[in-house]
Amino acid sequence: MPRPPDPKTLGELKAAVGAGSWLDSPDSVEPYLSDFRRLYHGATPLVLLPRSVAEVAQILRICNREEVGVVPHGGNTSYCGGATPDETGSQIVLCLRQLHRVRQTDAANYSMVIEAGCTLAEAQAAAREADRLFPLSLGSEGTAQIGGNLSTNAGGTAVLRYGMMRDLVLGLEVVLADGRVLNGLKSLRKDNTGYDLKSLFVGAEGTLGVITAACLKLFPLPADTATALVGIDSPQRALDLLARLRTAAGDQVTSFELMPRLAVELTVQHVPGVANPLDQNSPWYLLIELSSPNPHQDLLTLLTATLEAAAERNTIVDAMLATSIAQAHAMWKLRESVPEAQRRHGASLKHDVSVPVSAIPVLIEEGSALVHRLAPEGDVIAYGHAGDGNLHFNVGQKPDTDIKSFMARGPVLELAVFDLVESLGGSISAEHGIGRLKAAEFARRADPAELDVMRDLKRALDPKGIMNPGKVLCER
Ligand code: MLT
Ligand code: ZN
């Protein structure tokens, strides 16, 4: 069992950041010990909050020499326990919050260099100040940090149009396990010099090094946006509508979010200020957004015409187009409050999965049958980013059921859902990462050759295994 670092090493680590940038009392480290979902509660002798890349490098040099595990920590909004130390008390927490400078925005190059500890909302605001868009968009953007977004390869509600975090990165600055700094902050769209190292660190959840800054891609700011909430009979009809929209509006289709009726009802019930603006109830709802930098596109007319044509063919049941920014915000609040409503309603079994978009209806139908059979105390709440094939195939505890027996269904149901996802050519982690939660399942299901290469890379970059031990790759 790994041992806590000795007092001399702890002293050296504190000296590396200086007074005011470390925490070691039980109360002060407490907020760093649990993940957002409270699945894990770990222990640590020390939380370090460096203010510079040089300090991060010094910390890692010491930890590598002494073989001390290091757990990088951002906004702590992740769902898989990737930023939480284990229970041994042997790992230190490295919080990137104090690295929060926007180092440069280059409007003409449509790029921005920003440090890992900036929140996603700060990154969006910095881009906006330069009259540009940074398009990653998530419910937790006010708290989630860029380093965590990169390390988990975050997705969110605009992936259909702009891609995931990996697609939005031009370059990275990374401190390696031995303290060397990989300065890859290039701002080029074209660069064919050797291996694409930055891609290794995106989605690695801090297991290969610590991302300290990134050069991110920017886009023109939208000057015209059209938003609608649509009632629909089935997921298949949703796909029919998506195809129509893509034909009509091409890549101006920015978001295409699916919610079942229960998700909408729970959100209205549990989250103050949320309402369903549609007159008729529908089994399913879509939140659709089109956007364009061209102010003369008249996307509202385009969306209206497309929805009218869909209504004539009975593809949709009901629709409401936002005619003001406030209405559009209210629709987004409805969608973004679904996780909160689920939390307030009771316990959840969550499955963040993706399948080819065409397989979404089968996933929902066969997955729901699994829930009825294997977790009868639960209701299916399958919602999410249907436009890119990512569903949060969640199961919420039914009222008046016993939480213990409901939660006890989790492991068997998870296996069955993952088997189904795999049979459809999907992924058991679409956008929330592997962390600690899915490490064993990932190891069991991954292609052996792929897993070997990942383990080889891990050994090459972190031979002493100090970087976020136990996350992503299990010990063999
Ligand atoms: C979402 O899309 O709302 C989140 O990724 C999933 C969640 O918070 O459950
Ligand atoms: Zn999501």
β-bridge partners, 257: 287
Cβ–ligand 1 distance for 139 under 6 Å, the answer yes
Cβ–ligand 1 distance for 470 under 6 Å, the answer no
Which candidate, 168, 182, 176, 179, places its Cα nearest to that of 210? Answer: 176
Average pLDDT over the chain, rounded to an integer: 97
Cβ–ligand 1 distance for 206 under 6 Å, the answer no
Ligand 1 centroid to residue 143 C-alpha, Å = 14
CA atoms within 13 A on the CB side of 397: 18
Q: What is the DSSP letter of 390?
A: E
Cβ–ligand 1 distance for 343 under 6 Å, the answer no
Per-residue pLDDT reduced to its tens digit, 429-463:
999 999 999 999 999 999 999 999 999 999 999 99
Per-residue pLDDT reduced to its tens digit, 62-95:
999 999 999 999 999 999 999 999 999 999 999 9
290 in Cβ contact with 248 (< 8 Å): no
Domains and CATH numbers, the chain: 102-220 (3.30.465.10), 224-339 (3.30.70.2190), 346-423 (3.30.70.2740)
Per-residue pLDDT reduced to its tens digit, 214-225:
999 999 999 999
Ligand 1 centroid to residue 135 C-alpha, Å = 17
* Helix boundaries (H) for 110-170: 120-129, 146-151, 159-162
Ligand 2 centroid to residue 418 C-alpha, Å = 17
Residue minimizing CA distance to atom 9 of ligand 1: 339
At residue 103 the predicted structure's pLDDT band, cuts being 50, 70 and 90, is very high
Q: What is the mean pLDDT of residues 254-277?
A: 97
Ligand 1 centroid to residue 392 C-alpha, Å = 7
At residue 48 the predicted structure's pLDDT band, cuts being 50, 70 and 90, is very high
Which candidate, 256, 259, 290, places its Cα nearest to that of 276? Answer: 259
C-alpha span between 4 and 361 (Å, rounded): 50
Ligand 2 centroid to residue 384 C-alpha, Å = 6
In 3-state terms, what secondary structure has residue 255? strand
Q: What pLDDT does 277 receive?
A: 94
Cβ–ligand 1 distance for 465 under 6 Å, the answer no
Q: What pLDDT does 2 receive?
A: 80
Q: What pLDDT does 476 receive?
A: 56
Per-residue pLDDT reduced to its tens digit, 401-424:
999 999 999 999 999 999 999 999
Per-residue pLDDT reduced to its tens digit, 291-341:
999 999 899 999 999 999 999 999 999 999 999 999 999 999 999 999 999
Which atom of ligand 1 is the closest one to the Cα of 157?
2
In 3-state terms, what secondary structure has residue 219? strand
Per-residue pLDDT reduced to its tens digit, 226-253:
999 999 999 999 999 999 999 999 999 9
In 3-state terms, what secondary structure has residue 225? strand
Q: What pLDDT does 1 receive?
A: 73
Q: Which residues make Cβ contacts (< 8 Å) with residue 132, sequence separation at least 6?
A: 105, 107, 110, 112, 218, 219, 220, 221
Which atom of ligand 1 is the closest one to the Cα of 431?
5
